[in-house]
């Protein structure tokens, strides 16, 4: 093989970080780094399952040590007559004193014929995913990949067998590539697991450098595991000069002695093997010529911690089909409102003046998934939103909202956008109705209809992403005039949450939701409905539907509530409404607080009037914006809410 092209193969993907390290400077002594000698910051292990072993894949990592590891996959790049840009760091630019000078970058557009078939290696991590060391693969057209795993079948010819492993017929369907960590995840067609073909476990302990576990390096040279020992900073760096880039990342790198063919760092706990780290491709001493020329002399090499990789790249989990409980960040700093709460008189209801509505509560009408009729005097903070288009029929009761002061309504940000076109509604189209109980009774006493003075959408909300992150908006009303409101028994604000912010402290409690959303038969409610739904812990939420909530649950941004076992839940049209929790035991002393905003949930296909339609799945928990994360933002953008009085 042509020597210079071999150099190109190994350095193509490393060039970016080489240049970054050079630009950062190479004359910094390791012992002068801020994190030198410090203990690695502890990160909680990912939560994969509710079992005691918390495995990323069932029955993963089991191997008796004989033969090839059952998760090893050989990757062959065949007929890769592929065109694309390559960058090559010329060996002539490397100084002999082991310090890197600025490289010469040469642009190539073709892989030569003598590199039309190369082998690399990966690990099977699920039935549908292979984890690959990116620096050893070059073709980006997935049709050129051939995967070999498990023992060769009897009678296999040499063309269908690579080093004793059988050809997988599974095709590579998608690739997630992270050039910084050199880690790639390839999604493949589902494989059948056997004793000779099973996934390795992903690491499920904390990220501390613990020498109590057996450590191994998987080497590409012979596809074996070789014992190694993790080194502390003093053993790793000694008197080395390193780049500022490595210095900044010192606290998330791992370090061992080993040879250049080492690809993956593996740890063993009891009888299971775990993927722990992937090779980091900048050598501590910048001995680039040794590395590029394939010198297998043992030296110090760095590893990218799997925790650091996975915490930064959610797509790794999604593509691999690995479900992970989202990490729980620190709670927001608690806002103190004082004895008068967020707004004077908030959260109180007029229990003695219900205007005869009680007689109507027993009417047999379709209910909001096991809800009941809701007297407006008991829910005076509820707001109904309608979009009045200038040229077409209006959209009645598209969403709800919660009045939290005389001038501020809290709702969901997605309510301000068309669900079909994604365009934002014009503010003058927005009609706001307060004090409404019976949609069809236009003569209701106490009903107030106003228009918005302004709408403030949370700056981090992005409707195009359709992920409902930061799904919060404020509707600001006029202080005086026709578009201002007056407070009454039927129109008065709820209080902003003013207790402990930790959702686990109220998990298991019931919160009240009201709205005019779709009822149990998926028709629009005409009488205001209420339901009490259970607030769930993040763990219970995640394990109720791991596929959905591993992607959408975002602790401290949102939380789960509902009664999936009997379908009591919110539905289309209830978005933006509030989840209200009362304190106090005596009816007359109760005060009601806004804790959540109806955001979204999973859906299902249901036949309605002989037509398949996508509807809310009330047999799953729904997600609510946790306003404790946003109370400071609400106060900052509210003209009549202030902090401690």
Other beta carbons within 10 Å of 489: 17
- 52: confidence class by pLDDT, cuts 50, 70, 90: confident
Q: Which single residue is written with the structure tokens 């790639």?
A: 184
**DSSP string covering 46-59:** PB--SSTT--SSTT
pLDDT, tens only, 526-571? 788 888 999 999 999 999 999 899 989 999 999 999 887 766 767 7
Q: Is 540 exposed, middle or buried (0-12, 13-18, 19+ CB in 10 A)?
A: middle
Assign a CATH topology to domain 3-320: Thrombin, subunit H (2.40.10)
Q: Is 592 helix (H, G, I), strand (E, B) or coil?
A: strand
Candidate from 109-118, 189-198, 397-406, 484-493 with smallest mean pLDDT = 109-118
Contact assessment for residue 57 and residue 125, using Cβ atoms and an 8 Å cutoff: yes
**DSSP string covering 323-384:** --BPP--PPPPPPP--TT-SSTTTT---TT--TTGGGGGG-----SSS-EE--GGG-TTEEE
The two beta strands, 201-202 and 272-280, are parallel
* Mean pLDDT score, 125-142: 74
Assign a CATH topology to domain 357-636: Thrombin, subunit H (2.40.10)
Indicate whether 632 pLDDT > 50.
Answer: yes
Indicate whether 519 pLDDT > 80.
Answer: no
pLDDT, tens only, 355-409? 433 333 332 222 244 567 878 899 999 999 999 998 888 888 889 999 999 999 9
Q: What is the CA radius of gyration of the chain?
A: 30
Q: Which of 42-51, 54-63, 257-266, 360-369 has the highest mean pLDDT?
A: 54-63
Contact assessment for residue 503 and residue 621, using Cβ atoms and an 8 Å cutoff: no
Candidate from 181-195, 296-310, 419-433, 507-521 with smallest mean pLDDT = 296-310
* Mean pLDDT score, 601-611: 77
Query: Cα(228)–Cα(248) distance, rounded to whole angstroms?
Result: 25
Query: Which part of the chain is CATH 2.40.10.10?
Result: 3-320
Candidate from 77-91, 221-235, 245-259 with smallest mean pLDDT = 77-91
Q: What's residue 612's pLDDT?
A: 78
Q: What's residue 40's pLDDT?
A: 82
* Mean pLDDT score, 213-229: 90
Query: Cα(632)–Cα(76) distance, rounded to whole angstroms?
Result: 55
**Nearest residue to 402 (alpha-carbon basis) of 515, 533, 527:** 515
Q: Which residue has the higher pLDDT, 154 or 34?
A: 34
Query: Which part of the chain is CATH 2.40.10.120?
Result: 357-636
Q: What is the mean pLDDT of the chain?
A: 79
Q: What's residue 396's pLDDT?
A: 84
pLDDT, tens only, 64-73? 988 889 999 9
Q: What's residue 309's pLDDT?
A: 72
Contact assessment for residue 495 and residue 410, using Cβ atoms and an 8 Å cutoff: no
**Nearest residue to 318 (alpha-carbon basis) of 47, 56, 551, 542:** 551
3-state secondary structure 260-329: CCEEEEEEEECCEEEEEEEEECCCCCCCHHHHHCCCCCCEEEEEEEHHHHHHHCHHHHHHHCCCCECCCC
* Mean pLDDT score, 198-205: 94
């Amino acid at each position: 093989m042509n020597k210079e092209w071999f150099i190109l193969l190994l350095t193509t993907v490393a060039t970016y970080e080489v240049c970054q390290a050079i630009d950062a400077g190479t004359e910094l002594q390791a012992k002068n780094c801020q994190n030198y000698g410090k203990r690695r910051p502890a990160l909680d292990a990912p939560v994969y399952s509710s079992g005691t072993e918390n495995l990323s894949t069932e029955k993963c990592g089991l191997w008796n040590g004989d033969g090839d590891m059952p998760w090893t996959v050989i990757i062959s790049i065949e007929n890769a007559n592929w065109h694309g840009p390559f960058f090559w760091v010329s060996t002539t630019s490397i100084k002999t004193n082991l310090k890197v000078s600025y490289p010469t970058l040469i642009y190539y557009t073709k892989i030569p014929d003598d590199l039309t078939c190369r082998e690399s290696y990966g690990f099977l991590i699920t039935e549908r995913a292979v984890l690959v060391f990116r620096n050893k693969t070059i073709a980006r057209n997935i049709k050129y990949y051939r995967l070999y795993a498990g023992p060769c079948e009897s009678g296999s010819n040499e063309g269908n067998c690579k080093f004793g492993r059988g050809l997988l017929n599974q095709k590579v369907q998608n690739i997630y590539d992270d050039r910084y960590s050199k880690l790639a995840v390839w999604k493949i067609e589902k494989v059948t697991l056997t004793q000779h073909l099973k996934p390795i476990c992903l690491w499920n302990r904390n990220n501390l450098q613990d020498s109590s576990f057996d450590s191994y390096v998987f080497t590409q040279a012979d596809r074996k595991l070789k014992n190694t020992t993790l080194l502390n900073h003093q053993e790793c760096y000694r008197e080395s000069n390193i780049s500022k880039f490595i210095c900044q990342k010192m606290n998330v790198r791992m370090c061992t002695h080993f040879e250049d063919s080492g690809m993956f760092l593996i740890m063993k706990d009891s009888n299971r093997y775990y993927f722990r780290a992937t090779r980091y491709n900048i050598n501590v001493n910048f001995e680039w010529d040794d590395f590029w020329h394939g010198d297998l002399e043992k030296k110090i090499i760095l590893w990218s911690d799997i925790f650091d990789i996975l915490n930064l790249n959610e797509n790794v989990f999604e593509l691999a089909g690995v479900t992970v409980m989202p990490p729980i960040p620190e709670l927001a700093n608690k806002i103190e409102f004082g004895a008068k709460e967020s707004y004077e008189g908030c959260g109180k209801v007029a229990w003695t003046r219900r205007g005869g509505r009680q007689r109507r509560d027993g009417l047999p009408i379709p209910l909001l998934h096991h809800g009941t009729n809701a007297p407006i005097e008991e829910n005076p903070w509820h707001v109904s939103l309608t979009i009045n288009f200038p040229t077409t029929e209006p959209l009645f009761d598209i969403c709800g909202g919660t009045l939290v002061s005389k001038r501020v309504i809290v709702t969901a940000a997605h309510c301000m956008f068309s669900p079909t076109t994604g365009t934002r509604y014009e503010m003058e189209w927005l009609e706001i109705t307060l004090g409404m109980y019976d949609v069809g009774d236009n003569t209701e006493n106490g009903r107030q209809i106003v228009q918005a003075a302004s709408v403030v959408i949370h700056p981090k909300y992005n409707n195009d992403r359709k992920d409902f992150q930061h799904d919060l908006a404020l509707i600001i009303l006029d202080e005086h005039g026709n578009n201002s409101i007056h407070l009454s028994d039927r129109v008065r604000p709820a209080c902003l949450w003013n207790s402990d912010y930790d959702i686990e402290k109220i998990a298991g409690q019931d919160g009240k939701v009201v709205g005019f959303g779709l009822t149990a038969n998926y028709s629009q409610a005409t009488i205001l409905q209420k339901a009490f739904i259970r607030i769930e812990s993040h763990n219970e939420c995640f394990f109720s539907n791991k596929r959905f909530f591993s992607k959408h649950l975002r602790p401290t941004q949102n939380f789960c509530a509902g009664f999936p076992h009997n379908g009591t839940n919110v539905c289309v049209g209830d978005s933006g409404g509030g989840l209200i929790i009362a304190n106090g035991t005596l009816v007359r002393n109760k005060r009601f607080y806004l804790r959540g905003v109806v955001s979204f949930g999973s859906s299902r296909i249901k036949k309605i009037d002989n037509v398949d339609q996508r509807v809310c799945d009330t047999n799953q928990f729904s997600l609510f914006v946790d306003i404790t994360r946003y109370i400071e933002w609400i106060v900052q953008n509210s003209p009549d809410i202030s902090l401690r009085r």
